[in-house]
Amino acid sequence: MIRIALLAAAAAIAVTPVGAAEPDGLVLPPGFHAEVVADGLGSIRHMALRGNDIYVSTRHGRDQPSVGIVALRLGPDHMPLQTTQFSKVDQGTGIRIYNGALYAASGTGVWRFTLDDMLVPTAMPDEIVTGLTATNHPIAFDGKGNLYVGIDGGGGASNCPDPATPKGEKPKGLDPCPLLETRGGVWRFDASKTGQTLADGTRFATGYRNMSAMDWKTGDTLYGAWHGRDATHKTWPELLTQADDDHIADEMHRVVQGTDMGWPYTYWDGARGQRLMAPDYGGDGKKQAPRGKYATPVAAFQPMRPAVLDLVFYEGNRFPLKYRHGAFLAMHGGGSDGTVLPGGHNGYSVVFVPFRGGKAGKPVDFISGFAGPGPGDRNVKTAAHRPVGVAVGPDGDLYVADSNKGRIWRISYGETAH
């Protein structure tokens, strides 16, 4: 049952003096405040906002029923007047509003819902893209009628293993990797045409592992951020130390037609600032990739990959000028294998990447404290909250979604804390 944190919940969301502690122990820059908008929404992912309405994508476990899309209508106080759920479209992560319609990804395609004044669409949805592989499909639009859909590559230590490798030997990768024909990249489709398959699309970019974070930067091009490879030291301890593994970064890229981000052949070493060959493709922890063949990230996130899961460019007017045109990224938090580190894993935060003159600056923490008050709380097993989605409202406020408790916060600037 979806449970909404309404103002009627009294003291929990009562007005408190400026400077009071933020909800859930969140730590924000001076002048910013967080407010819980909704809670108990389940395993939520990305968000799309239209006026006072929020549409939220969801995922569910193998033995759990589908929740579909969660929809909320907020009142003037930013608290929900109505909340509901509709459709069975889920598992795909990506959700956007374009040309007055709601586009939402499923595990196998992308659907379009015509919106009217009602919160819940009344017409049957159109299937724009069908027959996709993988389950994670971020989506974006260029404003020129094109829909961009990401299709994950895969996981594990060796992402494209050669089945002919003798038993007992270390994995060797296939070159070229056949997975890249249908996965591990971004495909472009006609946003208005129904019934398209992968063959109808154009492979726009290639060479990433798992990318949930994708947004079109106004006046520029597509940007995406994705997960670096896992278990490299564990599989090749004779080649890479644990410190080497920790410096394999999550990568953020400027993506244009033909961009190759290097997966599965390479990885980005954040400590060296170099692209290195992966061990299953002849790498030894030091061997550099061919210069100019693969893209260089505009930002890299390490040590210990923070599991970036969403990004949004800020084009609003509510925040100070230095945030304009920059990117907010949701860092879900590392340690998905269940490893508990006394000092905690990286992530469990919202990071900001400034942009000036079209170039990305150094990433900085914007919101921390999601996992809990101590560094040791930054573990999958103990984290209170894990940021999974970020979106900017029409009024310029930032919204952050949590996958652990299904909570959504509104981040405002210059308002009295609630």
Pairing verdict, β 408-413 and 308-313: unpaired
Q: What would the mean pLDDT of 51-57 be, rounded to a whole number?
A: 98
The three-state secondary structure class of 212 is strand
Tell me: pLDDT of 230 over 80: yes
In a domain, 2, yes or no: no
- C-alpha pair distances (Å), 83 with each of 59, 120, 266, 390, 391: 18, 10, 45, 19, 18
Tokens 């925040």 — which residue?
Answer: 319
CATH number at residue 394: 2.120.10.30
In the chain, the percentage of residues whose pLDDT exceeds 90 is 82
Q: What would the mean pLDDT of 68-97 be, rounded to a whole number?
A: 96
Dihedral sign (CA 41, 106, 84, 79)? positive
- Indicate the range of 58-67, 141-150, 336-345, 357-366 predicted with least confidence: 336-345
Q: Tell me how many domains the chain contains.
A: 1
In a domain, 55, yes or no: yes
How far apart are alpha carbons 167 and 163 in whole angstroms? 9
In a domain, 1, yes or no: no
Domain span at residue 117 reads 7-413
In a domain, 106, yes or no: yes
Mean pLDDT of the chain: 92
In a domain, 202, yes or no: yes
**pLDDT score for 416:** 60
Cβ–Cβ < 8 Å for 13, 416: no
The encoded tokens of residue 282 equal 């002849």
